[in-house]
Amino acid sequence: MNNLNTISIDLAKNVFQVGVFSPQHKMQSNQQLSRQKLAPFMAKQEKAIVVMEACYSSHHWARLFDGMGHIVRLIPAQHVKPFVRGNKNDRNDSIAIAEASWRPNIKFVPLKSVEQQDIQALHRIRDKLIARRTSIINQTRGLLSEYGVIIPQGLKSFTLHITALIDPKDERISLRMKHQLRDTKEEYDQLSKRCQSIENELKQYVQQNPLCQRLMTLPGVGVLNATALYAAIGNGSQFATPRALSVWLGVTPKQYASGEKSFYGGITKRGNQYLRKQLIHGARSVMYRTKNRDDKLSVWVKQLVERRGKNKAAVALANRLARLAWILLQRNENYQPVAS
């Protein structure tokens, strides 16, 4: 690929900055193109290495340019920023994107298919719906506490108490508040219904995807975690080692080193925050179920909890589950518990 041009594109909503560089990394052009002119311009170019920041609409353009025969690479935005020289403008940004792509150890973002994008969108929508539903619950519990009505935590308790409060026979709150609670319950029920609809769709998808079915053989990986992993990494082939996946997820310790001094701190928290959260939730469920089990993983988890506590153990287990997920995908095997 040393004889291919590099085309760097600074993505935007309507106006794109496109830089063309020779195989020797010399700038040939750096121009602005409108959204309507970008695709025709790229179609006329000979096969090239196209580099962009992994940001708004990047996967759409990456799939389009990949279909034209170009080699597409997406760079995390934080790896581009150090290469910006001079004033912050689109021209300098396109140059910085090209320079970042030439670095020997740069880690590119995996290109998502339309199918992966669909599954990721479902997870994003569901996560937002749950946040809105939680907000409604917290606000309602807070308001009702001013009337001396205390609702215990949990979805089931909330539903039971709201249903009882809007009953005309219940006199704990005024008629005015009953009207508001009816609207609140309708909104809550609608959000719950949408969440359930998305979860049902994910369950149907898992039945058609062998990679998700293989991931679900892992402890702590159910429908949500399996589909979230697939949407993020596909078959995991873009990672050379299982540790590379853990590093990308941000569940590995952060190193501080200078001279002869070196120590490790908390996890880096890089990469996909939603996926990291889901894996840690899955790890907590595994920890809960290891009490009466004696397989190798369960024994390791119990010993880890005794040494480091539940929170650190959950993160460490999430790290291990991510590595096991990569191994299963690469070997095309299902997880089999190992006797201790």
Full DSSP string of 229-291:
HHHHHTTSTT-SSHHHHHHHHT-SEEEEEETTEEEEEEE---S-HHHHHHHHHHHHHHHHH-T
Which has the minimum average pLDDT: 47-61, 193-207, 246-260? 246-260
At CA 327, angle to CA 202 and CA 245, rounded to 5? 75
Q: What is the CATH number of domain 5-101?
A: 3.30.420.140
pTM listed for this prediction: 0.87
Exposure string of 108-118, with b = 16+ CB inside 10 Å and e = fewer, is ebbbbeeebee
Whether 194 has a pLDDT exceeding 90, the answer reads: yes
Residue 300 identity (one-letter amino acid)? W
Residue 304 identity (one-letter amino acid)? L
For the stretch 298-324, pLDDT in tens is 899 999 999 999 999 999 999 999 999
Which two tokens mark 65? 């340019």
Whether 340 has a pLDDT exceeding 80, the answer reads: no
Predicted confidence band of residue 141 (pLDDT cuts 50, 70, 90) = very high
Which has the minimum average pLDDT: 13-27, 102-116, 136-150? 102-116
